[in-house]
Structure 1
Amino acid sequence: MASAAHDDIDILTKAKRALPRDYTPSDDEEYMSPRQLNYFRVLLLEWKKSVVAASEGTLQSLQDGPIREPDLNDRASSETDWGIELRTRDRQRKLGAKIDAAMRRIDEGEYGWCSKTGEPIGISRLIARPIATMTVEAQAAHERREKISRDD
């Protein structure tokens, strides 16, 4: 699972490399100004392109054919690899939906604001995780509540 999260970070890093180098949002300017929103819109679009390209690679790998390994150990290994590819594809599908939701929030003027508290999420958090919907504090509280309800 750590590998899939690492892949998501790699894809985001590649998307960030495609951005113009002459601007990075900062806390010194008006929060969610048109220039910042445009930066995040471009970042999200580039990230989506990277996710689609990665998912096409996963699909190609899955379409290479059925598992026909004569050795049982080789077949088991191939089936495990196929399962990992399917989980990766599902993660990519979910990530694409989250990117689309972030784009809608930009269009609706809600991007950058916490869905729970209404406070600014923060530039540094959005640069690190452009699909974030909550502040770090609200996210931590949400995860604590989720853990408690799972433990019950």
Structure 2
Amino acid sequence: MATAISLDEKKLARVRAEVDAGYVPDESEEYMGRDQLNYFRLLLLEWKRSIRDAAESTLQSLQDGPIREPDLADRASSETDWGIELRTRDRQRKLVSKIDAALRRIEEGEYGFCEVTGDPIGIGRLIARPVATMTVEAQEAHERTEKVSRER
């Protein structure tokens, strides 16, 4: 799982570099003004495109044929690698849903505000996690509640 997370972070960093084009949102601007919303819209669209391109590449590799390793150990290793790749793609499929939801929030004027408290999420958090829906404090409270529920 750590590998999938680091791959997502690397992919997001590449997307961020492509989108920046000299503009990076900062705290001194009007919060969720036109420039910031446009930046995050482009970032989310580019991130989504990048994920879909990777998924198409995986699909093409799967369609090229079955694993034909003559050695059983090599075949097992290849099958394990494919399993990891497919789990990563499934995780990214779920991420695309979150990206679509963030794009809807931009269109509805709700992007950048906590779904629990209504407070601004913050530019730093949104740059780090563009699909964030809660402030750090609200997310921590949610995770504590979730942990308590699981332990019962």
Q: What do residues 64-95 of structure 1 show as CA deviations (whole Å, max 9, x unaligned)? A: 32223332212211111111111011012111
TM superposition shift of 1:20 = 4.0
Q: TM-score of the superposition, structure 2-length normalised?
A: 0.94
**Unaligned regions of 5+ residues in structure 1, if any?**
none
Equivalent position amino acid for 1:59 in 2: L
Equivalent position amino acid for 1:29 in 2: E
Q: What do residues 129-149 of structure 1 show as CA deviations (whole Å, max 9, x unaligned)? A: 100000011111111111121
Q: Separation in 2 of the partners of 1:22 and 1:48?
A: 21
Q: What do residues 103-130 of structure 1 show as CA deviations (whole Å, max 9, x unaligned)? A: 0000000000001111100000001110
Q: Separation in 2 of the partners of 1:20 and 1:128?
A: 14
**Unaligned regions of 5+ residues in structure 2, if any?**
none
Equivalent position amino acid for 1:150 in 2: R
Which residue in the other structure is 2:88 paired with? 88
Q: Separation in 2 of the partners of 1:61 and 1:42?
A: 29
Q: Separation in 2 of the partners of 1:66 and 1:46?
A: 31
Query: Structure 1's 151 and 62: CA in aligned 2 closer, same or farther, altered over 3 A?
Result: farther
Amino-acid identity (%): 69
- Conserved 8 A contact 1:25-1:36: yes
Which residue in the other structure is 1:39 paired with? 39
Equivalent position amino acid for 1:68 in 2: R
Equivalent position amino acid for 2:61 in 1: S
Residues 69-88 of structure 1: matches in 2 within 5 Å? 69-88=69-88
Q: Separation in 2 of the partners of 1:84 and 1:9?
A: 17
Equivalent position amino acid for 2:140 in 1: A
Which residue in the other structure is 1:59 paired with? 59
TM superposition shift of 1:49 = 1.3
Residues 132-147 of structure 1: matches in 2 within 5 Å? 132-147=132-147
Which residue in the other structure is 2:128 paired with? 128
Equivalent position amino acid for 2:86 in 1: L
- Conserved 8 A contact 1:62-1:85: no
Secondary structure in structure 2 of the residue aligned to 1:26: coil
Q: Separation in 1 of the partners of 2:59 and 2:147?
A: 34
Secondary structure in structure 2 of the residue aligned to 1:19: helix
TM superposition shift of 1:47 = 0.9
Q: Which moved more, 1:71-80 or 1:86-95?
A: 71-80
Q: Which moved more, 1:53-62 or 1:33-42?
A: 53-62
Q: CA RMSD in A?
A: 1.2
- Conserved 8 A contact 1:115-1:133: yes
